[in-house]
Amino acid sequence: MKLHVVHDTHYEYTPAVETAQHIVHLKPRDTPSQRLLQHELVVTPVEARRGERIDVYGNTRTFFALQSAHEELRVVADSMVLTAVPAPAPLGPGASPAWEAVREQFRFRAGGRWDAATEFVFASEYVPRHDDFVAYARPSCPPGRTVLDAAHDLMRRIHAEFRYESDATEVDTPALQALALRRGVCQDFAHIMIACMRSMGIPARYVSGYLLTTPPPGQRRLVGSDASHAWVEVYAPALGGGPGAWYGFDPTNDRAPGEDYIVLAIGRDFGDVSPMRGLLFGGGDHTLEVGVTVEPVA
């Protein structure tokens, strides 16, 4: 599926910002099921300096500096991607190792072998390991259940037991607080699922991106009405000791990501993949408007 996405970020500052430096993760990455066809990032006012590099997780990190006073900032990322259906998770008895075996494989041992997925077992800025997450995850992890079946059951439970409520949390709401509230948005649900898996000793990571939505019958697609999205990937080692793989789970929608998903960036949590962050000199109050449009292209 060919998808066109426009991510429009608009700040207004009172009083003006004197100088600023920003980092953005707005360039979709290539994955086994996604290929970036074209990308343009337009910054207004025109930046004084711009650079780009690939971070440790394989994401494109763009930075730019504004060195003159400005009362507003607009950043528009325009991308075209070609997506395919990711390989399905092998659910079912014996299709992946038992979750206890995965926990044992990734248990820390001084001098032990370091696997690339090991980093995603540890706590991170937005995702602590805590007994409350163990307690919530335990019903999904009975003895002998495969790691992917456990992840699927946990995803289903979060979707059923939590309510999507956009004003219930903020971008920096701790995952433990969102767990207690049983309310939040996609970022919260992703952090909670990751925290549960990691607290059980299973590698899990955060994926930011977009989801193609379908307007109600008879209504036109509204420009800017879509939003950024977040979901989870859980690592499952291959049976027999071969290379493992990451499998996607979307607790907000109780489904596996498909060709209607666009991957922007992958990290330990939201802090690694924030769409835009910056350091400002001057200014004071600000307003922010974000519009996202995702459209299929024939």
Residue 113 pLDDT > 70, yes or no?
yes
| 146 within 8 A of 234, measured Cβ to Cβ | no
What helix, strand, coil percent values describe the chain, rounded to 5?
20, 40, 35
User: Do the domain assignments include residue 94?
Assistant: no
Is residue 71 located within the same domain as residue 189?
no
Is residue 291 located within the same domain as residue 207?
no
User: Do the domain assignments include residue 202?
Assistant: yes
Is residue 225 located within the same domain as residue 106?
yes
User: Do the domain assignments include residue 154?
Assistant: yes
Is residue 35 located within the same domain as residue 155?
no
Is residue 188 located within the same domain as residue 289?
no
Inter-axis angle of helices 186-199 and 147-161, nearest 10: 140
Is residue 219 located within the same domain as residue 147?
yes
Q: What confidence tens digit (pLDDT) does each residue in 156-166 have? A: 999 999 999 99
| 17 within 8 A of 282, measured Cβ to Cβ | yes
Is residue 20 located within the same domain as residue 143?
no
Number of CB atoms found within 10 A of residue 271's CB = 14
Q: What confidence tens digit (pLDDT) does each residue in 47-97 have? A: 889 999 999 999 999 999 999 999 999 999 999 999 999 877 776 666 899
pLDDT at 93: 64
In the predicted model, what is the mean pLDDT of residues 236-244?
Answer: 82
**Residue 197: which residues within 8 A CB-CB, separation 6 or more?**
137, 151, 154, 203, 204, 232, 234
Q: Which domain holds residue 123?
A: 99-271
Mean pLDDT of the chain: 93
pLDDT at 224: 53
Question: How close are the terminal C-alpha atoms of the chain, in Å?
Answer: 9
Is residue 71 located within the same domain as residue 129?
no
User: Do the domain assignments include residue 257?
Assistant: yes
Residue 228 pLDDT > 80, yes or no?
yes
User: Do the domain assignments include residue 50?
Assistant: yes
- Comparing CA positions, the residue from 160, 106, 116, 136 lying closest to residue 266 is 116
* Burial 182-203, CB ≥16 within 10 A → b, else e: ebbbbbbbbbbbbbbbbbbbbb
User: Do the domain assignments include residue 91?
Assistant: no
CATH code of residue 21: 2.60.40.2250
Separation CA 176–CA 195 (nearest Å): 9
User: Do the domain assignments include residue 22?
Assistant: yes
- Comparing CA positions, the residue from 72, 79, 74 lying closest to residue 290 is 74
Is residue 247 located within the same domain as residue 134?
yes
Residue 222 pLDDT > 90, yes or no?
no
Is residue 123 located within the same domain as residue 253?
yes
What pTM value is reported for the model?
A: 0.94
In the predicted model, what is the mean pLDDT of residues 141-165?
Answer: 97
**What is the DSSP secondary-structure string of 208-273?**
EEEE---PPTT-PPPTTBB-EEEEEEEEEPPGGG---EEEEEBTTTTB---TTEEEEEEESSHHHH
List Cα–Cα distances, 231 to 105, 113, 192, 241, 243, in angstroms. Answer: 24, 28, 11, 27, 23
Is residue 137 located within the same domain as residue 123?
yes
Is residue 255 located within the same domain as residue 122?
yes
CATH code of residue 255: 3.10.620.30
Looking at the structure of the chain, the number of domains it has is 2
pLDDT above 70 coverage of the chain, percent = 96
